[in-house]
């Protein structure tokens, strides 16, 4: 808690906002899993440091070299097996239990929010543990037992692909519709651990603001949302979120 001391008034302000809110939407990005040991995408030490993600995470990259793309995703699955939810994920799971009008929207494909106990998670960029057949579309969840072999469809034998959303692909319609609705109707939106560079997810903060919501951002670095936010907390989410949720019970 000592590390949070200079931020206490801001943390209390967010707790106060959440206390008075009926509907809360929270958008998370890779930063919320950083303290679990999951690399972020951009920036120093990120998965894409020094590379152009638009040329890697695309259906075109998969079509031209599926083995190379699968090597990257199988490596990430192996890495995830060693990661567990951090106090930030756990605080959001607690917030869901305390606030019935809470909606969690995540860009993360790592499944850590569900592992932390969040029950309703709108995963707008899919799920890294899903294998989707490139021919018949059948989906299967990887057991994580064989993370060396490129997955093939159990029904038709064709090559599978990871069940994530690449650049140029549509987000899952039903999930996206629910995310937009939650953003448009919330009283408070928390924007946590995302660079807010990738659309349409990054537009959710604008949607929320246009609907009259108060925006609170938690991110150690400035983003395009920071200057628009009503409250910006420059701190790792694994420290700020538990402090905020702990403070909810007090007045
Ligand atoms: C911490 C921390 C700690 C660190 N605590 N914080 C409008 C304008 C311009 C472009 C577009 C537009 N609309 C659409 C586009 C095109 C494109 C796009 O957005 N391009 C931009 C790059 C400009 N979008 C799309 O193509 C999307 N589809 C689409 O729009 O469909 C409609 C359509 C179809 C066809 C034609 C045209 C339109 C799809 C986007 C899919 C994104 N997919 C990825 C890969 C997923 C699979 C995988 O995991 O490999 O999703 S890209 C990657 O970025 C991943 C993430 O979910 C996403 C966002 O990244 P995120 O989470 O913000 O991570 P980072 O690394 O960027 O940031 C981490 C942050 O954490 C930093 O700020 C740190 O400071 C912070 N941090 N430690 C708190 N401890
Ligand atoms: Zn198939």
**Contact 42 CB / ligand 1 (< 6 Å):** yes
CA atoms of 78 and 63, how far apart (whole Å): 23
pLDDT band at residue 47, thresholds of 50, 70 and 90?
A: confident
pLDDT in tens, 136-162: 999 999 999 999 999 999 999 999 999
pLDDT band at residue 249, thresholds of 50, 70 and 90?
A: confident
Count the domains in the chain: 2
What pTM, to 2 d.p., does this model score? Answer: 0.96
DSSP SS3 for 20: helix
pLDDT for 6: 84
**CATH number of the domain to which 188 belongs:** 3.40.50.1220
Over residues 76-91, the mean pLDDT reads 97
The pairing of beta strand 188-192 with beta strand 139-141: unpaired
CA atoms of 32 and 30, how far apart (whole Å): 5
**Contact 45 CB / ligand 1 (< 6 Å):** no
The per-residue pLDDT of the chain, averaged, comes to: 95
* Maximum alpha-carbon separation in the chain: 59
Q: Whose CA is nearest to atom 45 of ligand 1?
A: 166
Give the domain range for residue 112. Answer: 7-38+85-125+171-246
CA atoms of 114 and 89, how far apart (whole Å): 9
Q: Whose CA is nearest to atom 39 of ligand 1?
A: 167
User: Is the pLDDT confidence value at 166 over 50?
Assistant: yes
Q: Whose CA is nearest to atom 68 of ligand 1?
A: 195
DSSP SS3 for 97: helix
Q: Judge whether 137 lies within some domain.
A: yes
Catalytic residues: 125
Q: Judge whether 190 lies within some domain.
A: yes
C-alpha to C-alpha distances, 232 to 101, 182, 208, 221, nearest whole angstrom: 22, 21, 16, 10
Same domain, 153 and 208: no
Same domain, 226 and 180: yes
Over residues 181-191, the mean pLDDT reads 98
Nearest to 242 by CA among 141, 108, 94: 94
Q: Judge whether 212 lies within some domain.
A: yes
pLDDT for 1: 46
User: Is the pLDDT confidence value at 16 over 50?
Assistant: yes
pLDDT for 52: 67
């Amino acid at each position: 808690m000592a590390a949070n001391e200079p931020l206490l008034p801001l943390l209390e302000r967010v707790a106060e906002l959440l206390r008075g809110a009926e509907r809360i939407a929270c958008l998370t990005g890779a930063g919320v899993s950083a303290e679990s040991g999951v690399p972020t995408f951009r920036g120093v030490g990120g998965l894409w440091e020094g590379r152009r993600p638009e040329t890697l995470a695309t259906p075109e990259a998969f079509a031209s070299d599926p083995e190379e793309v699968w090597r990257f995703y199988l490596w990430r699955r192996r890495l995830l097996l060693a990661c567990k939810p951090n106090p930030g994920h756990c605080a959001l799971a607690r917030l869901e239990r305390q606030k019935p009008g809470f909606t969690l929207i995540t860009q993360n494909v790592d499944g850590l929010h569900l592992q932390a106990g969040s029950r309703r998670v709108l995963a707008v960029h899919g799920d890294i543990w899903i294998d989707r057949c490139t021919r018949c579309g059948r989906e299967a969840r990887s057991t994580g037992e064989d993370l060396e072999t490129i997955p093939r469809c159990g029904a038709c034998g064709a090559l599978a692909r990871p069940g994530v959303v690449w650049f140029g692909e549509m987000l899952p319609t039903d999930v996206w519709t629910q995310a937009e609705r939650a953003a448009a109707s919330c009283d408070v939106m928390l924007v946590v651990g995302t660079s807010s560079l990738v659309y349409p997810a990054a537009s959710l903060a604008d949607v929320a603001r246009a609907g009259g919501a108060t925006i609170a951002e938690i991110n150690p670095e400035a983003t395009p949302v920071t200057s628009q936010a009503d409250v910006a907390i420059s701190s790792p989410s694994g420290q700020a979120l538990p402090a905020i949720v702990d403070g909810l019970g007090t007045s």
